[in-house]
Chain A
Amino acid sequence: MSKPMDQMTWQEIEIGGVLTEPGNAREYDTGDWRSQHPVWTKSRCIRCGVCWTVCPEAGISEEPGGYFDMNHYCKGCGICAKECVTGCISMVPEEE
């Protein structure tokens, strides 16, 4: 979109709400309503990538050095923590 969606006027809406540019999902911080998020304890992480593999929302990105961290698509479901081979992921409530 030509400008952030919370600044667009009705006159600027493309007919039928058609999106003419790809990649608009990048503008949506879809994980902002999560109630908890994963935290990795790097000392116990073996960089196997199981967390990245099982994440249903592409909410985990590979970091430099082969470790993993959440990105803004994470909804806080906890599947990564449940499936982590070494148990190095803990789910932390958002308010903390």
Chain B
Amino acid sequence: MMGTRVGMEVSIAVSHAVQLARAEAIAAYPITPQTHIVEHLSSLVANGELEAEFVNVESEHSALSTCIGMSATGARTFTATSSQGLALMHEILFIASAMRFPIVMAVANRALAGPLSIWNDHSDIMAARDIGWIQVFVENGQEAFDHTLMAFKIAENHKVILPIIVNMDGFILTHVVESLELLDQDTADRFLPPYHARHRLDPQNPVTMGAFAMPELFTEVKMAHQMALVNSYDRILKVWKEFGDLTGRHYQPVEHYKTEGAKVLLLTMGCLGEVAEVAVDEMRAAGEKVGLLKLRMWRPFPFTDLREAMGGAKLLIVCDRALSLGGAAPPVLAEVRSTFYAANPKLQILGYVVGLGGRDVPPETFKEIVAQAQTEAKQGPSQEYHIFGVRG
């Protein structure tokens, strides 16, 4: 018996994955639209359905600090946040990864203020792009469940030992009820054995954690972190494959949708992928050679997968859900342009920023973008990138 198909709010499904993972330590602060995740976990702990330490804290800064302390004792640790909460964690995010604590965090992506907005975009996580965590994006409830469970196995792998963020679009994913297949506890236990920390706070075997580094050593410590993150790629794929063999649900760093023979490729992250699929279906039906790439793995960045995904495409349209104000390009576009700068200089790469602060992105948007981008590709781009649909 593999699992059961249920209708479930995605936030609750994420909590359920944490329960199946037998998380031992949780510290979190409620913030919209992440609240349902930790609220449900709090109930599970209070009802005795999850044997874990649940620490109520006064801020996200304390939430992640507490998670670090609990992870240092060797406990399997989870937290979740969003937007301003992620921003308030900022300095601690770097500590968690530098000290190599395999904390799993769900981020319900939401616009960073200001202006104040509770709605979805990716500006929160893009402001935390360089924190040294593994980062993945999911596009539906099943993926949110699967990747939360897999995150523990990836993070705790002895060749990895890094914290990991599972990014899921706030509201438009976290608050919808979807049909998804859960795992039973026995299967989850076989997939994810108990966590044994390489180093932990233990009076019988004392170690120093979080020591400072003199200039003679700082560069080497950073290089070790960089290589751990880069080398985590192979282990991530190994875990995804094991999970795929177990459940039939296979995941790739860059997911392909109708890319065969495509001359134009769209690139999205998160929920936009499913909407773009609808647009691609319609454009394909109209005879246009358009395909879709969905970037699942954000850190480490899957350069090789992306290069190989181009096939015979001549135009790549990158859809960002965040801005880099005053910068060369929005975050994803900048990475993608770097990916192809030397490898494929003939490939035309155009950028479109969509869906800021909860602005709806229907399939028509992608069709309009593809039409506009094809015109620009012939005539030469009118500007570095477009903030699509902005009035004025």
**Residue numbers in B under 8 Å from A10 (CB-CB):** 219-221, 223-224, 227
- Contact status of A16 and B220, CB under 8 A, knowing A5-B214, A24-B208, A28-B214: no
Secondary structure at chain B's binding surface: helix, strand, loop or mixed? loop
Within 8 A of B (CB), among A1-22: 5-6, 8-20, 22
Query: Which of A6, A13, A15, A28 lies in contact with B199, CB distance below 8 A?
Result: A15
Asked if B224 and A18 make an inter-chain contact with CB atoms under 8 angstroms apart, the answer reads no
Bound Cα distance A20, B207 (Å): 5
Q: Which of B96-104, B266-274, B350-358 interfaces with chain A? A: B96-104
Interface 1/0 per residue, A69-85 and B, CB below 8 Å: 00000000000000000
Within 8 A of A (CB), among B238-272: none
**Residue numbers in B under 8 Å from A19 (CB-CB):** 207-208, 211
Confirm or deny: B378 has a beta carbon within 8 angstroms of a beta carbon on chain A: no
**Residue numbers in B under 8 Å from A12 (CB-CB):** 220
Asked if B99 and A17 make an inter-chain contact with CB atoms under 8 angstroms apart, the answer reads yes
**Residue numbers in B under 8 Å from A16 (CB-CB):** 98-101, 161, 199, 209
How many A residues touch B, CB cutoff 8 Å?
Answer: 18
Bound Cα distance A5, B211 (Å): 13
The smallest C-beta distance from A48 to any residue of chain B, in angstroms, reads: 35
Within 8 A of B (CB), among A37-52: none
* Shortest Cβ distance from A6 into B: residue: B216
Asked if B224 and A5 make an inter-chain contact with CB atoms under 8 angstroms apart, the answer reads no
Confirm or deny: B206 has a beta carbon within 8 angstroms of a beta carbon on chain A: yes
- Contact status of A9 and B211, CB under 8 A, knowing A15-B199, A16-B199, A18-B199: no
Bound Cα distance A6, B216 (Å): 5
Within 8 A of A (CB), among B329-352: none
Asked if B216 and A5 make an inter-chain contact with CB atoms under 8 angstroms apart, the answer reads yes
Confirm or deny: B217 has a beta carbon within 8 angstroms of a beta carbon on chain A: yes
* Shortest Cβ distance from A9 into B: residue: B220
* Shortest Cβ distance from B223 into A: residue: A10
**Residue numbers in A under 8 Å from B100 (CB-CB):** 15-16
**Residue numbers in A under 8 Å from B213 (CB-CB):** 17
17 contacts between A and B (CB under 8 A): A5-B214, A5-B216, A10-B219, A10-B223, A11-B224, A13-B217, A13-B220, A13-B224, A15-B228, A16-B100, A16-B101, A16-B161, A16-B209, A17-B211, A18-B207, A19-B211, A24-B208
Residues of B within 8 A of A (CB): 98-101, 161, 198-199, 206-211, 213-214, 216-217, 219-221, 223-224, 227-228
